[in-house]
Structure 1
Amino acid sequence: MTEPTGPAPYAELLDVALEAARRAGDLLRDGRPADLGVAATKSSPIDVVTEMDLKAEKLITGFLGERRPDDGLLGEEGASVTGRSGVRWIIDPIDGTVNYLYGRADWAVSVAAELDGETVVGVVHAPARRETHHAVLGQGARRDGVPVRCRPGTTLDQALVATGFNYVQATRGAQGEVVRALLPRVRDIRRSGSAALDLCDVASGRLDGYYERGTHPWDYAAGDLIAREAGALTGGPPGAPPGRELLVAASPEVFGVLRPLLAELGAARG
């Protein structure tokens, strides 16, 4: 993990976020049982939670409670604390749970800190990839301590674009139609199964763009800041911020074409 940099109070928040993500990542990497199974489902029978999601969220919330007892908290697996400091933590203990369940590498611990409603620190720690992205508001984005920038100067027809799919069958069908229409207009399309990592891959120039419908704040809070601090643009439907209706992140050249095209193709419907 990298050493935190930045002015107070961001330096302390980054230090806490990095440590929380590292501790959870160690637990998830080293403590994964060979017979890991599904502990619960959420929006559909294929939208799963494992016992390790629950253990990792408990570890993170416990650590944050010790280090920052006055802060608020929002976690994917149900953690919710109002707080009174102006800081709120947004955490996803495993972004890419199905990948983790199957032993694939594309999963990450996502930890973001908001100050008075604005995301100021983001950490996406991917133990199986052996890398960590982080960003501090106004200070750029880094992967393992090295500054990263999004890939510049790409036209849409040469763009490598990632997407994700909802776990509700009817929505997945509509999303498939968008992919069918988009595929002939781009270089190619990828699907990793982790919104946080897709956003970091846009930041690092491994993707030219990414879009998805149905994401939650814990899916993108950290990765959105990392992408923006790497020079990417992010948003929702034209004129709106990222949200459940649509999340788009891309280099400026691709974003200016991709977002209106997705609106035309109905990516925010379904």
Structure 2
Amino acid sequence: MTSPLELQHIAVEIATEAGELARRRRGEGVSIAASKSTIADIVTEADREVEALIRERLAAARPDDGFLGEESGDAAGTTGITWVVDPIDGTVNYAFGMPSYAVSIAAVVDGTDPGTWRALAGVVHAPALGETFRAAAGEGAWLGEQRIRVNTDAPAGALIATGLGYDSRTHAGDLATLTRAMPLARDIRRIGAASLDLAFVAAGRLDGYFERGLQPWDIAAGRLLVDEAGGRSGWFEPDAFGRSLAVVAGPELYERLRSAILD
């Protein structure tokens, strides 16, 4: 099997090219193509174009691998490796001209269920921020050429990020969950791009992050970043609305955060 480092190298190259396309299209002006789950959950023409580019480049580099993308669905492969792709994570930020968006590309094995797969390589590239977070299984997590690690303590309280779903029926439950987490928090952040939330935990910019309703492409690369940066990550059973829960943090905070939310 191809080494995780080789897969990481492919992901970095493609994510960089895809990010430049996304950045260029943003400068030319955004066209809203459709809504996804709700009218507030938009997809832009750039999402589709960027995913098409990523899929084309991966097919050329790794024609026998599988693919799972937010915009164009899935395709089975024969190698056991599947590429899980979010072309523009943080589409609403992107559409409004905010820099907190990213291209997320990961290579996983053992299926496409975040609860059971094993990630081999992951890249979160933020073109507007000029930052590329990368990880390969067993090789640590990196921001550019600098190795990154999670925070291991938060004596003044933890800086915790979360997100709210687009479905108004879920907001009361999400706010109740946030209330349970607040005793652990120094403050709360709502960045609007799960891949960056995860990358920022890996880099020690956040102490922890949790959110319900994420999709496999939202977390595939970012969870590996956290794990390789010395943190812990969990993917928990769906709620009444079918939304699984992701929790990530440094080792000590992780148990406290998970317990506060779920117990």
Whole-angstrom distance in 1 between the partners of 2:95 and 2:258 = 32
| CA 1:185–1:13: 2 relative to 1, 3 Å | closer
Deviation at 1:33, TM superposition (A): 5.0
Return the alpha-carbon distance in structure 1 between the equivalents of residues 9 and 231 of structure 2.
24
The residue type paired with residue 85 of structure 1 is T
Q: Are the aligned partners of 2:149 and 2:202 in contact in 1 as well (CA < 8 Å)? A: yes
1:4 corresponds to: none
* Match status 1:77 vs 2:63: no
Question: Is 1:29 the counterpart of 2:18 in the alignment?
Answer: no
1:165-199 C-alpha deviation (Å, 9 max, x unpaired): 11111112321222234334410110000110000
Alignment-mate amino acid for residue 159 of structure 2? L
2:82 to 46, 63, 88: 88
Equivalent residue number for residue 50 of structure 1: 44
Do the aligned residues in 1 keep the contact of 2:180 with 2:260 (CA within 8 Å)? no
RMSD: 1.7
Runs of 4+ in 1 over 4 A off after TM superposition: none
Report the CA distance between 1:32 and its aligned residue: 2.1
The aligned amino acid for 2:54 is I
The residue number in structure 2 matching 1:60 is 54
**1:227 matched to 2:231:** no
1:101 paired with 2:95, answer yes
- Which TM-score applies when normalising by structure 2? 0.91
Structure 2 residue aligned with 1:41: 35
SS of corresponding position for 1:187: strand
Deviations 1:216-264 (A, max 9, x none): 11000000000000011001349xxxx9420000011111101010114
Shift of 1:8: 4.6
Segments of 5+ residues of structure 2 without an aligned counterpart are 112-117
CA distance in structure 2 between the partners assigned to 1:17 and 1:116 by the alignment: 19
CA distance in 2, matches of 1:144, 1:174: 38
8 Å CA contact retained: 1:125, 1:131: yes
Identity within the alignment, %? 45
CA distance in 1, matches of 2:247, 2:15: 25
Which residue of 2 is the match for residue 247 of structure 1? 246
Structure-to-structure mapping, 1:143-154, within 5 angstroms: 143-154=143-154
Moved more, 116-125 or 194-203: 116-125
How far residue 15 of structure 1 moved from its aligned partner, in angstroms, is: 1.6
- Figure out how many residues of one structure are paired with residues of the other and give that number: 253
* Aligned counterparts of 1:78 and 1:167: Cα–Cα separation in 2: 21
Q: Distance in 2 between matches of 1:209 and 1:116?
A: 27
> 2:164 maps to what in 1?
165
User: What is aligned with 1:130?
Assistant: 130
TM-score, normalized by length of structure 1?
A: 0.89
